[in-house]
Structure 1
Amino acid sequence: MLYYALIFLVVAIIAGVLGFGGIAGTSAGIAQILFFLFLIFLVVSLVMGLFRRT
């Protein structure tokens, strides 16, 4: 999931440089959503790992 967030971020940067504002904004929004989902899943898996050990 982090891989796809980085891909959308690169697409957003390239689109922004080339002047495609709408595509850049959409790609940046998708990248942000995917990144926060990755963080949520990371925290949940860490917490589950801590409870599983005890």
Structure 2
Amino acid sequence: MSTETSGKEINPFVKLLLEMGPIVLFFIAYMRMKDNVYTISGTEYDGFILVTAGFVL
């Protein structure tokens, strides 16, 4: 079995987008939801908890 890569280079912009995109989206969602409280099935959750749960899932 060979451990060599296929030799295809990933576009640097695409690589940056894939690496930084989720983090940027997390902070945007956090800034929008941080002061809100959401009730789900009778339990209150801060926006931070919901953003973190969405990021993990």
TM-score (norm 1): 0.40
Considering Cα pairs closer than 8 Å and 6+ residues apart, tell me whether 1 or 2 has the greater RCO. 1
Q: Greater strand share, 1 or 2? A: 2
TM-score (norm 2): 0.39
Please identify the structure whose Cα radius of gyration is greater.
Answer: 2
